[in-house]
Amino acid sequence: MESITGKATGLLNEDAEPQHMDNDWISNFFDKCRLISNEEMQTLWAKVLAGEANSPGKYSKRTVNFLSAIDKADATLFTELCRFVWFIGDFVPLIFNESDNIYQKYGISFNSLMHLDEVGFINFQHITGFKKAGLEKRGIVLYYKKPVCLEFDKERDNELNIGRVILTKVGQELASIAASEPIPEFVDYVVGVWQKKSIVVKVP
């Protein structure tokens, strides 16, 4: 607990207001984290604590309880998945076909996605997939901090293929603190997929 608190202190914003944190949330947090000994997992817990202190209400008690039930291997696999996450209104892992080389190369497979679904990080629909609907003619999406411009045929009510995976609420909350690194070739891969759907894609 002392280690996690110490790590969290270094992550606080200057305008953090930990005094506004909910007492029940704090009690639950320290009850769940007191037996965490792995340093990498302690860092993850510290990020949650600091994030809650910086913005009270950011992390639900459900997410804290979820963290207490996963192990380092689950967290590592989720971090690998987050390398494929784009920001399209919210965090979206763009997994179009998990058998493609780009996913296999970085440890994402049908079995790993099924596991992340079973654990509770994601919803995996390997048959139907998911779409973002109701989009305007033009928009900007982000891969890490890299903007990508999209232009559809219609003025409004457009759809965007976002692949076979979406994050659960818990996954959304944890994706913001996953220590993942971008994949250099992934932007070109995604651009190629969307262009096949007659979407004009521009990378500034």
96, 119, 203 from 143: Cα distances, Å: 15, 25, 11
16, 48, 72, 100 from 41: Cα distances, Å: 23, 11, 7, 30
Give yes or no for a contact between 52 and 59, defined as CB atoms under 8 angstroms apart: yes
DSSP state for residue 102 in the 8-state scheme? H
Calpha distance 134→156 (Å, rounded): 7
- The ranges assigned to domains in the chain are 1-69, 71-204
- pLDDT (tens digit, 9 = 90+) per residue, 63-92? 999 999 999 999 999 999 999 999 999 999
Give yes or no for a contact between 117 and 168, defined as CB atoms under 8 angstroms apart: no
The tens place of each residue's pLDDT in the chain, 204 residues long, gives 889 999 999 888 988 888 889 999 999 999 999 888 889 899 999 999 999 999 999 999 999 999 999 999 999 999 999 999 999 999 999 999 999 999 999 999 999 999 999 999 999 999 999 999 999 999 999 999 999 999 999 999 999 999 999 999 999 999 989 889 999 999 999 999 999 988 999 998
pTM: 0.90
The pLDDT value given to residue 179: 84
DSSP state for residue 33 in the 8-state scheme? H
State the chain's mean pLDDT as an integer.
Answer: 94
